[in-house]
Amino acid sequence: MQELLINLAIILAKITAALVFTIALMVPAMVYIERRLVAFFQQRLGPNRVGPFGILQPIADALKLILKEDITPKGVDKILYFLAPAIALFCACMNVAVIPFGPDLQIMGRTIPLSVANLNVGILYMLAISSLSVYGIVLAGWSSNSKFSFLGGLRSTSQMISYELAMGMSLIGLIMLSQSLNLSDVVNAQSKWPFIIPQFIGFIIFFICMVAETNRAPFDLPEAETELVGGFHTEYSSMKFAIFFMSEYANMVIMSCLISTLFLGGWRWPIADPVALFGPYIGVLVGMGQFVAKIFAFLFIYIWLRSTFPRFRYDQLMKFGWLVLLPLGILNVVVTGIVLTWFR
């Protein structure tokens, strides 16, 4: 009984920690960092009034959004309209579950793996959940009863479906190398070399798809401000809008987590076994530090891309997904297979 309770407490603590990390820590940090960095890229200063260096700006933004009037436009499908932002954020949060944040923590005679759920089908789970998150956007666009939102929803559906395929393809080569769908095993398989070296094409495809999946520039067609007045969230206001905003940033963080885990060795690279090197506690911290550093690197690249590239045209986007990325992914699978059968 006591054992059960302790296990339950550990699980709850892990869930809380993971959610606090992504939603409460990384999302506001990302909001601030993005606004500041984009400003610097454009030789502006960005928000620097609230708190030292403007660090409290996300809090001010959140307060503002909470205090805004919550408008439900005429003719919306009420149930779906309310459900859509919830689905978006829910899917973003769900994906945190399978990410191994660091080496196993040895504490008080227990071994605690630092991932909420060490699933055997982690990669499949992650692909499935990120596919589900398209529902949030589609339903938002559909239920708003607005042509702009509807177009945004349509765009994101076709975009996400076409890039989902290439994303899956890019991972097959990696799975062939790691021989496992478990993300912890994937990380362990990278103790010597991160998979970015043997799977460079896969990495590039996954990276492009991840930018497209999170609807970020240059793939931000679903929320193209210039054409669609905000796209799927045109009709949303107040906290419901904020939830879409949060889910977008959470998705960015999670996709950065995933690509670091899958291709850059998660917490295992460049220091392969921090626990053996630094002891059980500092080693865990070092491992997590390596992981977080990679996440931030990818988040920086996200912002860098946003401040560099203009938006794709819709037909270019579809062509690129189906005629470039998907064949490239298949080629990658074939080449990896040939190399594995001949040289092993």
Partner 1 sequence: MIKELLKGLFITQKHLWRKPTTIQYPEVKKVMPERLRGRHHLRRDEEGLELCIGCHMCAVVCPATAIYLEAEENTEQDRRSGGERYAKVYQIDYLRCIFCGFCVDACPTDALVMGQEYEMSSYQRKDFIYGKDILLDALNKKTDVKAYYHLNGDTDNSSPQKVNKEKPLEGSESK
Residue 105 makes CB contacts below 8 A (sequence gap 6+) with 111, 112, 113, 114, 280, 284
Alpha helices in 95-199 (DSSP H): 122-143, 147-178, 183-188
Closest approach, Cβ 28 to partner 1, in A, equals 22
Check if the beta carbon of residue 134 is closer than 8 Å to that of residue 142: no
User: Binding of partner 1 at residue 43 (CB under 8 A)?
Assistant: yes
Check if the beta carbon of residue 99 is closer than 8 Å to that of residue 291: no
Q: For strand 105-107 and strand 110-112, is the pairing parallel, antiparallel, or unpaired?
A: antiparallel
User: Binding of partner 1 at residue 39 (CB under 8 A)?
Assistant: yes
User: Binding of partner 1 at residue 309 (CB under 8 A)?
Assistant: yes
Residues in a beta bridge with 105: 112
Instruction: Identify which of residues 44 and 313 has a Cβ nearer to partner 1 in the complex.
Output: 44
Specify the long-range contacts of residues 70-73, CB closer than 8 Å, at least 24 apart.
70/237, 70/238, 70/239, 70/240, 71/235, 71/237, 71/238, 73/144, 73/145, 73/146, 73/235
Pull the structure tokens for residue 332: 């990658």
User: Binding of partner 1 at residue 315 (CB under 8 A)?
Assistant: no
Task: Out of 145, 180, 238, 307, point to the residue binding partner 1 (CB under 8 A).
Answer: 307
User: Binding of partner 1 at residue 200 (CB under 8 A)?
Assistant: no
Closest approach, Cβ 295 to partner 1, in A, equals 20
Closest approach, Cβ 40 to partner 1, in A, equals 5
User: Binding of partner 1 at residue 8 (CB under 8 A)?
Assistant: no
User: Binding of partner 1 at residue 308 (CB under 8 A)?
Assistant: yes
Closest approach, Cβ 149 to partner 1, in A, equals 31
Of 17-25, 33-41, 151-159, 335-343, the window that binds partner 1 (rule: CB under 8 A) is: 33-41
User: Binding of partner 1 at residue 44 (CB under 8 A)?
Assistant: yes
Q: State the DSSP H helix or E strand holding residue 36, giving kind and residue range, or none if neither.
A: helix 27-41
Of 89-97, 220-228, 234-242, 299-307, the window that binds partner 1 (rule: CB under 8 A) is: 299-307
Distance, in Å, from the CA atom of 251 to the CA atom of 293, rounded to the nearest integer, reads 17
Instruction: Identify which of residues 272 and 301 has a Cβ nearer to partner 1 in the complex.
Output: 301
- Residues at the site binding partner 1, with contacts judged by CB under 8 A: 37, 39-45, 304-305, 307-309
